[in-house]
Amino acid sequence: ATPMSIMVATGRGAGMGVLFRDAEAIEVFREVDTLIVDKTGTLTEGRPRLVAIEPAEDTDENDLLGAIASLERASEHPLAEAIVEGAKDRDIELSEVSDFDSITGQGVHGKVGERRVALGNRKLMETLEVDVGALLDAAEAMRAKGRTAMFAAFDGRAAGLIGVADPIKDSTPEAIRALHEEGLEIVMMTGDSETTAAAVARELGIDQVFADVAPRDKADKVKELQQRGRTVAMAGDGINDAPALAQAQVGIAMGTGTDVAMESAGVTLVKGNLDGIVRARRLSRATLANIR
C-alpha cells in the first residue's frame, strides 16, 4: 500500500477505535485466515457471576462461601470478583488471610484463620493433592451448561463445588457472523475446561476450540496453527496473552486489558469487543484493494 493509503487507514481506524501500530499491521491483517480469541472477556462479558454453591457433606454453605471469598479478595482474576461479590450479596463477613498464593491458570490457596483453604480447577487440586473424585460428576454437569466449575478444599479435603457463569456479550453472535463472512475461521482459546468451552463454542458457532490451555502454552498453540499453514490473528487481554500476541502474524490487544498485552500487539481495540476486529479487517482489506 502507498504511505498515503496507510495514513488514511490509520486515521480512519483511530476514529473507529481501532489503533494500528504500523503499516505492517494493516497490510498483514488482510492475509489473515484464522482468528484466535480468548473466551473470557472477549466473547463473554468477562464479569462472571456466582450461580451455584454445592457444599460437600458436613460443610456449611455460608462458611464455605466466606472462606473462599476471603481468599479471593487477594486475587485480581475475574472469577475472584464473582466470588467476592457473591459473598457480599449474602452479607457474609470476610476474614484475614495469611500465606496467600496464587497459581496462574489454576487458582488460589492460603490460610483463612486456622484453616488452609484452596479454590481452583482440577489441576490446582492435583497440585495440592486434594481428592475431588466425589465432585467430578457434578462438576461436569455444571460445565455442560457452559458454566465454569471450581473446586474448594479445606485442610486438604474437598469442601465443595462452585459454579460461575459469564454471559456472552450481546454483540458477539453478530460479530462472529460477520467474521465468518470475512472468510475467517474462528478458534476459541481458553484456560477453562473442554466441556465448558465446547458448550459456549456450540452456542456461538465457533469452528475450533483449544481448551485447558495453560497460560505459558498459548504461544505454542498459535505456532501449531501457523505450522499448518495458517495466517493467524490472536486477540487477548491479559499479561498471560502477551507471548501469544507476539507470536501471531497480527496480535490484537483489547484496550480494556493490560498494558503488557497492548505493547505486544499490532492492533489495539479501544473497546474490548469483536466488533473492532470486524472493522479492522474490513479497513485492512479496503486499504489494499484501493491500490491494486
Q: How far is the CB of 64 from Mg ion (least distance, A)?
A: 25
Residues 281, 84: Cα–Cα separation, whole Å: 38
Q: Is 238 in the site for Mg ion (CB under 5 A)?
A: yes
Is the distance from CB of 197 to CB of 211 less than 8 angstroms? yes
Tell me which of 33, 38, 155, 237 is the catalytic residue. 38
Residue 131 bears catalytic tag: no
Check binding of 77 to ligand ADP (CB under 6 A). Answer: yes
Considering only residues 48, 55, 105, 251, which one is a binding residue for ligand ADP as defined by CB under 6 A? Answer: 105
Contact map string, positions 19 to 58, toward ligand ADP, x by CB under 6 A: -------------------xxx------------------
- Which of 169, 192, 232, 269 contacts ligand ADP by CB under 6 A? 192
Report how far residue 235's alpha carbon sits from residue 245's, in angstroms, rounded to the nearest whole number: 7
Alpha carbon distance 267, 259 (integer Å): 13
Nearest to 79 by CA among 51, 37, 49: 49
Contact call for residue 70 and ligand ADP (CB under 6 A): no
One-letter amino acid of 3: P
Q: Is 121 in the site for ligand ADP (CB under 6 A)?
A: yes
Note whether 110 binds ligand ADP by CB under 6 A.
Answer: no
Kindly state the smallest distance separating residue 245's Cβ from ligand ADP, in Å.
13
* CB proximity list for 197: less than 8 A, separation 6 or greater: 39, 188, 190, 209, 211
